[in-house]
């Protein structure tokens, strides 16, 4: 089916259709069906045969070259990403930075993939080899299109795998630039293949018998389906899912930083960020002061054309999503929350932008834990402020959620900061900051956000790897894109039982 990117999306969600935020067609392409998915996997298999023979150092060299090209083309890729997704050009550039940084990081690790050597009786010995899995599938969400494609492909390729990647149909464009760059850097054709489409294409990929692993970023309901499909083929999965993360502001914090942190935790990429700290718990003593400053700064956020340098918030991804987010604000009011600012559609003066899906960022006061806006992931620019008295109380309330992606704490008390994060049920915790993404640190969730604390502890990952559904970034991700082979070597004669 041929689809157009950029047709205004006002109707029902057709998974095979592509749209952009401002009613303009920017490209057309065909969604992949069974035939195209088979071709993509076949190509990736052929590339894998070549790629797996290369040493880690050789693979690393190609990844480094790809990182260099991305860095060199940052402005161009960021511009396309901004059109692709609607995020401000400033943020898009930061995403591109975290993308080439990820490739550089895994380029460095590629040569360090190693097993163990184990002495056995009589001079015999064993060793382990860390080997690639084969053709891996990456399926992305629409909020960080280029970054997600990079964060999935870099560790996969560094470990010697090939990848077939499917971006979200809402943001199909920039993954193609990444594919082009890998090829230009010297990767065998088909090593990083992109197929386009929605859920149906995603399912074909997950069910494909030649696919060894699926790495998915998206919502919990889709993650459940991916896991089901992968379970049928006994395939490992990495699941990076949704969240409703707490941000805890203690009265002894540096207030200026806490206010900045709360904005960073809520309003990047129009609030469409999985790890956002949308439940902002503020200790009673500073509630009024904090709220006043947060509202003031939120009202100053410049909304508009994301390609303009001064813009800090662009449009949401599509009309149904905008309406969904506005619906949460309406519901919050009905449940007793107070809209302290924003929460309504925004129409920029520029006539070219009048059909864009803009809204004013919203701060909700008078929130309670039982409100829908506090319990459910909104995935839009809506911050809920809640007050608390004691550390024990806020910890219990912060953890009272099925999600567990991220959490943050602002305090000047060093002991309290570490005591609190040790108790928070979240995969990524921030102390005195929020939503920074160093690629050296693993990223992923607890509970329904991505994983349960199970997993296998090896000599290499001891103390680090206990996550069931994987992580992105950091050294630990090597474990999730490779498998361990044990080789047992006899130096004497066979002692037969027969
Ligand atoms: N934890 C993270 O790292 C992270 C990062 C970004 C977004 N997210 C989450 O993603 C969600 C928003 O993104 P979204 O709306 O694109 O999510 P989504 O689950 O609707 O879609 C994600 C991807 O899955 C594909 N898909 C849909 N149905 C499928 C199926 N049955 N089988 C295979 N693939 C299928 C989509 O086409 C898309 O590419 C939010 O919940 C957000 O929190 C999580
Ligand atoms: N920069 C990390 C964002 C991932 C979640 O949406």
Task: Compute the average pLDDT of residues 211-229.
Answer: 95
Is 240 one of the catalytic residues? yes
Residue 213 located in a structural domain? yes
Same domain (yes/no): 99, 214: yes
pLDDT greater than 60 at residue 15: no
In CATH, what number is assigned to the domain containing residue 430? 3.40.309.10
Which spans in 239-318 are helix H? 255-267, 287-299
C-alpha 273 to ligand 2 mean position (Å)? 6
Same domain (yes/no): 59, 125: yes
pLDDT greater than 70 at residue 2: no
Q: Rounded mean pLDDT of the chain?
A: 92
For residue 24, CA distances in Å to 27, 318, 362 come to: 9, 12, 27
Same domain (yes/no): 376, 256: yes
Beta-bridge partner residues of 130: 484
Q: Which of 65, 81, 91, 240 is catalytic?
A: 240
Residue 88 located in a structural domain? yes
Distance of CA 193 to the CA centre of its chain: 20
What pLDDT is stored for residue 30 in this prediction?
Answer: 82
Same domain (yes/no): 81, 47: yes
Q: Is the CB of 141 under 6 A from ligand 1?
A: yes
Contact yes or no for 77/85 (Cβ under 8 A): no
ipTM summary value: 0.96
Same domain (yes/no): 229, 281: no
Q: How many domains does the chain have?
A: 2
Share of the chain above pLDDT 90, in %: 88
Task: Compute how many other C-beta atoms are within 10 angstroms of the C-beta atom of residue 147.
Answer: 24
pLDDT, one tens digit per residue, over 254-284 is 999 999 999 999 999 999 999 999 999 999 9
Residue 10 located in a structural domain? no
Q: Is the CB of 275 under 6 A from ligand 2?
A: yes
d(CA 114, CA 179): 28
Q: Is the CB of 144 under 6 A from ligand 2?
A: yes
C-alpha 141 to ligand 1 mean position (Å)? 4
In CATH, what number is assigned to the domain containing residue 80? 3.40.605.10
Contact yes or no for 157/187 (Cβ under 8 A): yes
Instruction: Name the band, by pLDDT with cuts 50, 70 and 90, for residue 226.
Output: very high
What pLDDT is stored for residue 391 in this prediction?
Answer: 98
How open is the CA angle 465-469-473, to the nearest 5 degrees?
A: 60
Same domain (yes/no): 271, 234: no
Same domain (yes/no): 285, 331: yes
Same domain (yes/no): 272, 158: no
Instruction: Name the band, by pLDDT with cuts 50, 70 and 90, for residue 223.
Output: very high
Same domain (yes/no): 325, 356: yes
Q: Is the CB of 273 under 6 A from ligand 2?
A: yes
Same domain (yes/no): 279, 320: yes
pLDDT, one tens digit per residue, over 438-455 is 999 999 999 999 864 434
Using the Cα atoms of residue 168, residue 174, residue 179 and residue 185 in order, give the sign of their dihedral. negative
Instruction: Name the band, by pLDDT with cuts 50, 70 and 90, for residue 469.
Output: confident
Contact yes or no for 245/408 (Cβ under 8 A): yes
Q: Which domain holds residue 424?
A: 246-443
C-alpha 193 to ligand 1 mean position (Å)? 19
Contact yes or no for 20/6 (Cβ under 8 A): yes
Same domain (yes/no): 218, 252: no
Same domain (yes/no): 252, 269: yes
């Amino acid at each position: 089916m041929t689809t157009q990117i950029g047709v205004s999306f006002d109707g029902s969600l057709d998974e095979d259709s592509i749209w952009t935020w401002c009613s303009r067609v920017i490209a057309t392409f065909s969604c992949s069906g069974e035939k195209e998915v088979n071709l993509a996997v076949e190509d990736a298999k052929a590339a894998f045969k070549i790629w797996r023979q290369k040493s880690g150092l050789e693979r690393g060299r190609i990844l480094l070259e790809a990182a260099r090209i991305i860095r060199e083309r940052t402005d161009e890729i960021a511009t396309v990403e901004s059109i692709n997704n609607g995020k401000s050009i400033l943020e898009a550039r930061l995403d591109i930075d975290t993308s080439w940084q990820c490739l550089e990081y895994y380029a460095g690790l590629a040569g360090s993939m190693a097993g163990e050597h184990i002495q056995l009786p009589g001079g015999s010995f064993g060793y382990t080899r860390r080997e690639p899995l084969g053709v891996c599938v990456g399926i992305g969400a629409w909020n960080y299109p280029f970054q997600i494609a990079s964060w999935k492909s870099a560790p996969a390729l560094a470990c010697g795998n090939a990848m077939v990647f499917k971006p979200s149909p809402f943001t199909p464009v920039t993954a193609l630039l990444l594919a082009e760059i890998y090829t230009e850097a010297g990767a065998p054709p088909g090593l990083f293949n992109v197929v386009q489409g929605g859920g149906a294409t995603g399912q074909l990929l997950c069910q494909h018998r030649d696919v060894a692993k699926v790495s998915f970023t998206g919502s919990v309901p889709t993650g459940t389906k991916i896991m089901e499909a992968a379970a049928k083929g006994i395939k490992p999965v990495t699941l990076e899912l949704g969240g409703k993360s707490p941000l805890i502001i203690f009265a002894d914090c540096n207030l200026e930083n806490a206010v900045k942190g709360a904005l960073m935790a809520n309003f990047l990429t129009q609030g469409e960020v999985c790890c956002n700290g949308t439940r902002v718990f503020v200790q009673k003593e500073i509630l009024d002061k904090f709220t006043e400053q947060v509202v003031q700064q939120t009202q100053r956020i410049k909304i508009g054309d994301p390609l303009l340098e001064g813009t800090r918030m662009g449009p949401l991804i599509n009309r149904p999503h905008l309406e969904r987010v506005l619906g949460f604000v309406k519901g919050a009011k009905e449940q007793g929350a107070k809209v302290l600012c924003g929460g309504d559609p925004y129409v920029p003066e520029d006539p070219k932008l009048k059909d864009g899906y803009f809204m004013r960022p919203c701060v909700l006061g008078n929130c309670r834990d039982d409100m829908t806006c506090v319990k459910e992931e909104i995935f839009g620019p809506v911050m809920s402020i809640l007050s608390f008295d004691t550390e024990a109380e806020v910890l219990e309330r912060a953890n009272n959620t099925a999600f567990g992606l991220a959490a943050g704490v602002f305090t000047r008390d060093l002991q309290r900061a570490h005591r609190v994060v040790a108790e928070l049920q979240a995969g990524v915790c921030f102390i005195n900051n929020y939503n920074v993404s160093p690629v050296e640190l693993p990223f992923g969730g607890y509970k329904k956000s991505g994983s349960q604390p199970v997993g296998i502890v090896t000599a290499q990952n001891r103390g680090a790897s206990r996550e069931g559904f994987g992580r992105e970034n950091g050294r630990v991700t090597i474990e999730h894109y490779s498998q361990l082979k044990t080789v047992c070597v006899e130096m004497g004669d066979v002692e037969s039982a027969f």
